[in-house]
Amino acid sequence: MAYYPLRKVGLPALARKTYDEWLEAIDKELNRPDCDRNELCRTILTDVFYPGLIDSDVTSSSQSTRLGLLQMDPRNVTLEPEYYHEVDQEKYVKVKPLIWLWEMFDKSPLGENVELGIRFRRLLAKRIFKKCGKNFKAFHFVKLSFGYNLDVGDGVTVHRHVLLDDRGGIRLGNGASVSDYANIYSHTHDIQESAMVDTPATIIGDGVRITYHATILAGVRVANDSMVGAMALVTRDTEPHYIHVGIPAKPVKKKDMSIDRRSSIKDPLAD
């Protein structure tokens, strides 16, 4: 195989300046002790989806426009985690506007812009997660549950359409990578009574790779430097340095520990 580290991609000066100024303004506003996160979310989303209607009288709009404008304000929507019995309402009320801002950004014309999107989600993640380490990268359409139960280390990458169900807590260790369409759970239902729920924490160790369409069930510990193969279903703890495949996932091969991992390569999308 050829060695292909990520290459640096340039941006036109106007785009770079605009992105920097927009992100700096949001960061500055969120740093204010009296920041109204709901209003900030409403303002940003309205400006993106309905330019010129930020201060419009909602009641004078057509019914369809009124419905659309109402969705820009997180106070007018409900999200599934709000219905969970164990939600910590004091914590969730603080992160809900930022989770809604994240999700709606991804649905906007801005969402698939890699440079802007990673920087924007990183800015929000540092205020949503229990902990967010350096150089966190999330691509578009990552789905969170509570958000505040996520403990994320340094250099973590979460790719497209990933579900991070942190009801019971998820830890993503340093250098962990979660590929497209993977699911990580931290809650499980009783087989006979679905309202009986267990919420064990799920631990993804340092240097773990979870590959395409894999699923990690609640309470599992994916050991440091282990790998979960495509479409695998992890139902029990994995072994360090081993590749695990299948349903249920089993260790099939140990990594060649003599290979140079080239960890010193600079990430062009780092902080």
Domain map (residue ranges) of the chain: 131-254
Q: Which residues pair with 16 in a beta bridge?
A: none
User: Which tens digits make up the pLDDT trace of 42-54?
Assistant: 999 999 999 989 8
The model's pLDDT over 152-175, given as tens digits with 9 standing for 90+, comes to: 999 999 999 999 999 999 999 999
Q: How many Å apart are CA 180 and CA 114, to the nearest integer? A: 15
Q: Which residues of the chain have pLDDT under 50?
A: none
Residue 263: its pLDDT value, please? Answer: 60
What's the CATH fold of domain 131-254?
UDP N-Acetylglucosamine Acyltransferase; domain 1 (2.160.10)
Order the strands of the 170-172 sheet from edge to edge: 131-132, 150-152, 170-172, 202-204, 221-222
pLDDT of res. 264: 60
